[in-house]
């Protein structure tokens, strides 16, 4: 009987220690996960390309051209357009659909530094209107501007339109 009670006590002790050991890794794992959460909360937030979405045209990245657009409400948008890439307005609500004026402000070179005035003078941008099939070719109605043009009027405030003739912008391209 003594051995039975001792055996029972040892079995209970073994069972209790096994249960404690089984919960120990879970507790350690929970603590480790919480530590990871705390560590990641202390790190600065760095948006990924996909989370940047439309805000990417607000950032001066390497090989981008800074352009200021004004609309009818005297609101301006300073956007950064990538060199050699045609950017469509549908990609971002930041890009203006009916700008009145446009002006190239600056150029960021491939070393993330502001480019020289000579390099900026070689840059030209095009504004392409939305095509409805009425245009012979897109290039016939695209408005081209450069730093030599200074402030380019794309449309007049009173509704009399110069360059884009009342059309909405489909895309922008700078080279």
Q: Tokens 């705390």 correspond to what residue?
A: 38
Per-residue confidence (pLDDT) for residue 77, from 0 to 100: 86
The pLDDT of residue 145 is above 70: yes
| Entry pTM | 0.61
Q: For 4-40, give one letter per residue: b (16+ CB within 10 A) or e.
A: eeeeeeeeeeeeeeeeeeeeeeeeeeeeeeeeeeeee
Specify whether the CB–CB gap between 105 and 66 falls below 8 A: yes
Specify whether the CB–CB gap between 126 and 144 falls below 8 A: yes
Structure tokens at 7: 């055996």
**pLDDT tens, residue by residue, 26-60:** 444 454 544 444 444 444 434 444 444 555 667 78
**pLDDT tens, residue by residue, 97-117:** 888 889 999 888 877 778 888
Of 100, 21, 107, which Cα lies nearest the Cα of 64? 107
Per-residue confidence (pLDDT) for residue 174, from 0 to 100: 95
Q: Which helix or strand (DSSP H or E) is residue 11 part of?
A: helix 2-42
Per-residue confidence (pLDDT) for residue 175, from 0 to 100: 93
* Residue with more model confidence, 23 or 123: 123
The pLDDT of residue 135 is above 70: no
**Residue 127 in 3-state DSSP?**
strand
The answer to which of 30-34, 127-131, 137-141 has the lowest mean pLDDT is: 30-34
């Amino acid at each position: 009987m003594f051995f039975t009670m001792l055996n029972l006590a040892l079995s209970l002790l073994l069972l209790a220690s096994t249960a404690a050991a089984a919960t120990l890794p879970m507790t350690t794992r929970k603590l480790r996960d919480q530590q990871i959460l705390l560590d990641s909360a202390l790190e600065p937030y760095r948006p990924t390309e996909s989370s940047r979405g439309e805000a990417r045209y607000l950032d001066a990245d390497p090989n981008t051209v800074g352009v200021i657009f004004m609309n009818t409400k005297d609101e301006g948008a300073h956007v950064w357009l990538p060199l050699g890439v045609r950017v469509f307005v549908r990609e971002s609500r930041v890009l203006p659909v009916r700008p009145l004026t446009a002006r190239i402000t600056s150029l960021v070179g491939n070393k993330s530094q502001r480019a020289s005035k000579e390099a900026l003078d070689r840059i030209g941008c095009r504004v392409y209107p939305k095509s409805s099939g009425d245009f012979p070719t897109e290039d016939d109605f695209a408005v081209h501007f450069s730093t030599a043009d200074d402030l380019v009027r794309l449309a007049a405030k009173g509704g009399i339109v110069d360059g884009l003739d009342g059309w909405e912008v489909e895309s922008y391209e700078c080279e």
